[in-house]
Chains A and B, each alone.
Chain A
């Protein structure tokens, strides 16, 4: 049972434009959400997080939005850069120790 879903396996964006990656979850008890970035042959790297008491968190070019009523979160990258090309995973937790990951979205930023 996939509790966290990323329905877009891939996304291509022109350099300088906005990248929007989406994630849906089914468990209303989730209270902490994260985004990870993964390059080939490397482990996932933490990017940004948000707790359920917020609806937005911003860190430089990266902003995560949380819509609890829709059980949806999104990651916005503005402006997109070629170095952002990677696989992005969203993850959610209700206990803090077990994270449920989506299947990932492969982002390609075209120069």
Chain B
């Protein structure tokens, strides 16, 4: 059974650029959630995708967008990067949208200069 994998693990961007982060969900999981974890904080919910549709969104601006593909993998896109976007971005998959047990990947650490 393959766990949740994320890429890239680390990346550096400059303010105003765009970034795409990728996530492969655990085998058999049809739901992917994205969280942002700033330094010293707990993970904050960005959005969830279930069967290729957005299924809930946290308090993040529209420049944060996502996709889920037919194989349930997912992308997180952030446009017009700001310094405060520097954080660890965590992807989590789950068996269905309303189950509590999220399986997290190791995260993608984004630094915006």
Interface residue? A25 (CB, 8 A): no
Report the minimum CB–CB distance from A73 to chain B (whole Å): 13
The CA-CA distance from A32 to B101 in the complex, in Å, is 11
The CA-CA distance from A6 to B33 in the complex, in Å, is 23
Interface residue? B81 (CB, 8 A): no
Interface digits, B27-48 against A, CB 8 Å rule (1 contact, 0 not)?
Answer: 0000101010000111111001
**Beta-carbon nearest neighbor of B33 in chain A:** A97
Q: What residues of chain B lie closer than 8 Å to A95, measured between beta carbons? A: 56, 98
Interface residue? B77 (CB, 8 A): no
The CA-CA distance from A43 to B98 in the complex, in Å, is 20
A101-B44 in contact given A42-B106, A43-B90, A44-B104 (Cβ < 8 Å): yes
23 contacts between A and B (CB under 8 A): A34-B100, A36-B104, A41-B106, A42-B106, A43-B4, A43-B90, A43-B92, A43-B105, A44-B90, A45-B104, A46-B101, A46-B102, A46-B103, A89-B43, A91-B42, A95-B56, A96-B97, A96-B98, A97-B31, A97-B48, A97-B50, A97-B56, A101-B35
The residues of A with any CB-CB pair to B shorter than 8 Å are 4, 6, 32, 34, 36, 41-46, 49, 89, 91, 93, 95-104
